[in-house]
Amino acid sequence: MYTYDAFDETFVTERVAQFRDQVARRLSGELTEDQFRPLRLMNGLYLQLHAYMLRVAIPYGTLTSIQLRRLAHIARRYDKGYGHFTTRQNIQYNWPALKDTPDILADLAEVGMHAIQTSGNCIRNVTADQFAGAAAGEIEDPRIWAEIIRQWSTLHPEFSFLPRKFKIAVTASPNDRAAIAVHDIGLKMVRDQHGEVGFTVYVGGGMGRTPFIGKEIRAFLPKAHLLSYLEAVLRVYNQHGRRDNMFKSRIKILVHEIGADAFRERVETEWAAIKDGPVELPAEELARIAEQFAPPAFETLAAVAPEFEMRRFEDRAFARWARANLFPHRQPGYAIVNLSLKPEGEPPGDASAEQMDAVADLADRFGFGDIRVTHEQNLVLPHVRQKDLYELWQALLPLGLATPNIGTVTDIIACPGLDYCSLANARSINVAEDITRRFSDLDRAHDLGELKIKISGCINACGHHHVGHIGILGVDKKGEEHYQITLGGDATETASIGEIVGPAFSAARIVDAVETVVTTYVGHRAPGERFLDTYRRIGMKPFKDSLYATH
């Protein structure tokens, strides 16, 4: 895992000292709120509905056990004992006091973390496949490139004041778990016909008010040229992106307005001028960074551990968890373990300080101290020996971290919504909680198969509702919470934007409406079809008919 070098350390420590001074000057009145706001936002500190909110960056969703313990400590010492993992693989604290934030940032800096570029019109925290370095079928660890992008983009002077915020996601697997199609830039590692590794580059994806799936602007970019090419894309956006209208300022609008071909041409022209220039990463630096992501000391094991097989056979609950929450590992005898942060009736993505500490301990005991945060708001222990899985599962059960529901109807993404967020139209967490209660029967949930529900409390779409198989968007209708349903969204390699099914449902009716959608699917599905498959085959009409027939 990447550890800070002296440069990173000095920079982050200096930044904490600066912010300490800025906070002191704000509290003494030397700085006005208008002067201070941009400074606090540059350090991830927002003012939300109830209090300040601190968003801490977790680059590409990777944490060491030491870092996770520190996040637990911050939750306990400065907040109300919990944190919220977000769809950007970050963590948010909902109750920090302004006067404490310099101490929080100092505590973070000690473990190589910060809250820089988690706000503002800059390149935000780079996200990546949470199974990086572990997934079977991965081309190479995408975090090497995510870290390179992090270093390149951190305080990049030319790109600190872009027309709008900018999000980059990287994956190196054929199965896209990083939702690259709905990012400003999505990077997918691929091999060309000669076996050389590079990236397919997508631009202009995004959600919010005007959702778009990213357009491919380069089928193959040799990886050595990644930074110069990204620089070219950002330059074109920085020059031509709209600054006159906040709703049209994201790169997706520029790409849409001029077209992917024209955009590609501008990028290629820009790139021709800087390619092979000083922005390209020297091979030694690449090697230095790559070395930090070297695989842990895996043991040589048989592909399948007999202990694991036996336990699965004997213990039905364990077998169910194993089926839902484990993913194949590239190393024989190992598994990728998902820890669900979606227990029935609880806020998606919240973890208590005790849970964080316990996960850190379990990561040390069973998984090389490596923890991942997923954009679907769960945690992952990426490298666990199969023979340890039963013991791990038993340890997770009393912690409330063994809900066997990954990818199912109750593994819901929900943004903070009106319970915390000052921009919200409606609550989202309570809707998620109610849906998990409605579908609490595990047999039923598993029978429904892969089903992704995603909920946002406003059109900003932090809850990714546009790409939910069932998307739920909170709207305000004459001062009352209502919910609009979209169907057929998909954030993976077969990405699509969901379509609005019809008029919004009241808060009292939304869970029934979701159930109607689900039963309509069950009534129409062909053997082996997931919800998304059925929807793509039969279209919107049957769903619309059953949803609005009862009115």
Of the pair 29, 278, the CB lying nearest another protein is at: 29
Q: Does 381 bind ligand SF4 (CB under 6 A)?
A: no
In the range 458-487, which residues lie near ligand SF4 by CB under 6 A?
A: 458, 460-463
Answer for which of 430, 456, 496, 534 binds ligand SF4 (CB under 6 A) is: 456
Q: Does 33 bind another protein (CB under 8 A)?
A: yes
Contact between 72 and 111 (Cβ < 8 Å): no
> Pattern of binders to another protein over 416-435, x per CB under 8 A?
--xxx---x--x-xx--x--
Q: Which residues contact 135 (CB under 8 A, 6 or more apart)?
A: 129, 173, 175, 327, 328, 329, 330, 336
Report how far residue 415's alpha carbon sits from residue 472's, in angstroms, rounded to the nearest whole number: 11
Tokens 């220039």, residue located: 277
Q: Quote the least distance from Cβ 418 to another protein, whole Å.
A: 6
Report how far residue 420's alpha carbon sits from residue 402's, in angstroms, rounded to the nearest whole number: 26
Q: Does 347 bind another protein (CB under 8 A)?
A: yes
Only one of the segments 56-64, 140-148, 373-381, 475-483 lies at the binding site for another protein (rule: CB under 8 A); that segment is: 475-483
Q: Quote the least distance from Cβ 86 to ligand SF4, whole Å.
A: 9
3-state secondary structure of 413: strand
> Which phi and psi angles does 94 have, rounded to 5°?
-95, -10
Q: What is the 3-state secondary structure (H, E, C) of 129-140?
A: CCCCCCECCCCC
Q: Quote the least distance from Cβ 354 to another protein, whole Å.
A: 15
Q: Classify the phi-psi angles of 412: left when phi > 0, otherwise alpha if psi is within -120 to 50, otherwise beta.
A: beta
Q: Quote the least distance from Cβ 58 to another protein, whole Å.
A: 23
> Pattern of binders to another protein over 43-82, x per CB under 8 A?
----x-xxxx---------------------------x--
> Pattern of binders to ligand SF4 over 414-443, x per CB under 6 A?
-xxx---x-xx-------------------
Q: Does 24 bind another protein (CB under 8 A)?
A: no
Question: Token digits for 363?
Answer: 């990561």
Q: Quote the least distance from Cβ 53 to ligand SF4, whole Å.
A: 10
Q: Closest by alpha carbon to 532, among 378, 405, 409?
A: 409
Contact between 324 and 405 (Cβ < 8 Å): yes
Name the strands in the sheet holding 215-222, side by side, starting at the edge strand that comes first in the sequence: 127-128, 168-171, 185-191, 197-203, 215-222
Among another protein, ligand SF4, none, what does residue 26 contact (CB within 5–8 Å per kind)?
another protein
Q: Closest by alpha carbon to 104, among 61, 150, 58, 56?
A: 56
Of the pair 122, 453, the CB lying nearest another protein is at: 453
Contact between 467 and 495 (Cβ < 8 Å): yes
Among another protein, ligand SF4, none, what does residue 513 contact (CB within 5–8 Å per kind)?
none
Report how far residue 476's alpha carbon sits from residue 425's, in angstroms, rounded to the nearest whole number: 5
Binding site for another protein (CB under 8 A): 26-29, 33, 47, 49-52, 80, 95-99, 347, 418-420, 424, 427, 429-430, 433, 479-481
Binding site for ligand SF4 (CB under 6 A): 415-417, 421, 423-424, 456-458, 460-463
